[in-house]
Amino acid sequence: MSKTTHKKIDSKGFTVWFTGLACSGKSTLADALVPILKKKGFKVERLDGDIVRQSLTKDLGFSVEDRRKNIERVAFVAKMLTRNDVVVLATFISPEIGMRDNARKEIGNFVEVYVKCSVEGCMKRDVKGMYKKALAGQIKDFTGVHASAPYEEPPNPELVVDTEKISIEDGVKQVLSKLVELGYIKP
Amino acid sequence: MSKTTHKKIDSKGFTVWFTGLACSGKSTLADALVPILKKKGFKVERLDGDIVRQSLTKDLGFSVEDRRKNIERVAFVAKMLTRNDVVVLATFISPEIGMRDNARKEIGNFVEVYVKCSVEGCMKRDVKGMYKKALAGQIKDFTGVHASAPYEEPPNPELVVDTEKISIEDGVKQVLSKLVELGYIKP
């Protein structure tokens, strides 16, 4: 997937797709961007697992097949919003290259941000105790912990934010700079 | 459900929800409205079974439970679009009062249009031969044909368009007049 595939459709909208392990910092980054982008005049929607799994995908679990369906449905919603001038900040582990590339193709204006953090780093921030439960076998198919659920690093994302090395503030700046560079927002 | 529940949210967007039997004229009406509303400056999305069942709800069949899930997911998408200033023209048989009322509550700016046509009238327009197949038992749970799939008429829709009595052109005019009356569009 080449970086040149972004900015395909004629819309003010775009989707920033944050991918990475649980507790890598995806939601923290996206949440911090909401008021900044709203202040710039954009309509903004957050899409994340907690939101969509209450309604759109409440029938789905965390198997590979269900994760793919989850991302497919989210991509449909993001496509609809993006082509209607809305900025979508989507935060999903979305562990497979294929599912992310499908989302990219469907949505068009797609900015993939790999929120990079080692499993060990994520475990240190394990606010909900999910890694603990996964290691104890109380959660199955936990990405990055179980062999059944590997995380495929993006080979060519628009941006990598390494949250073990930089602060959230700097991560937000990196995303904004990238959006300026790609022509989605003004400086 | 009272008529006074429309126009709940602060958005230029609204959803016109066309409900009625297969071949009653829902899609014909909605399709005719698209260019008119676009010309008025609105962003418009059409949501119908053919669109969403290819992606968002492709895992679903036509059982009562699956129809409910189908409408739930569509309502989620319509809500997202409606609150971001988009006009949604949704055409779904949506046979149950309950599923439509749930959609109304979720979406907010919701205009229910009952596209009224008797089963006999719909059968005469059976362009895809669906009623024929349903009567021959080749399609199960066909709304209005099989006892397993009744159609619950809306007790209090914003508008009834009786397509056995009036032309599509007049139906379009009725919808536009209602949208003016409700304050969604200007004359």
Write out pLDDT tens, residues A130-176. Answer: 999 999 999 999 999 999 999 999 999 999 999 999 999 999 999 99
- Residue B6's pLDDT is 61
- Residue A9's pLDDT is 86
Q: What is the pTM of this model?
A: 0.93
CATH of the domain spanning A10-116+153-181: 3.40.50.300
* B39 three-state secondary structure: helix
Chain B interface with A: residues with Cβ < 8 Å: 43, 45, 52, 55-56, 59, 69, 72-73, 76-77, 80-81, 84-86
CATH ID of B12-118+149-176, from 3.10.450.50, 3.10.20.30, 3.30.360.10, 3.40.50.300: 3.40.50.300
- Residue B5's pLDDT is 60
Closest approach of A166 to chain B, Cα-based (Å): 33
Residue A94 falls in the annotated catalytic set: yes
The domain segmentation of chain A, as residue ranges, is 10-116+153-181
Nearest of B132, B171, B182 to residue B32 by alpha carbon: B171
Identify the residue whose tokens are 């957050």. Answer: A46
Q: Mark yes or no for CB contact A73/B56 under 8 Å.
A: yes
Residues of chain A with pLDDT below 50 are 1-4
Nearest of A94, A121, A104 to residue A158 by alpha carbon: A104
Residues of chain B with pLDDT below 70 are 1-7
- Residue A7's pLDDT is 65
> Which listed residue (A24, A94, A118, A167) is catalytic?
A94
- Residue A1's pLDDT is 44
Sequence length of chain B is 187
Distance from C-alpha of B59 to C-alpha of A72, rounded to nearest angstrom: 12
- Residue A6's pLDDT is 61
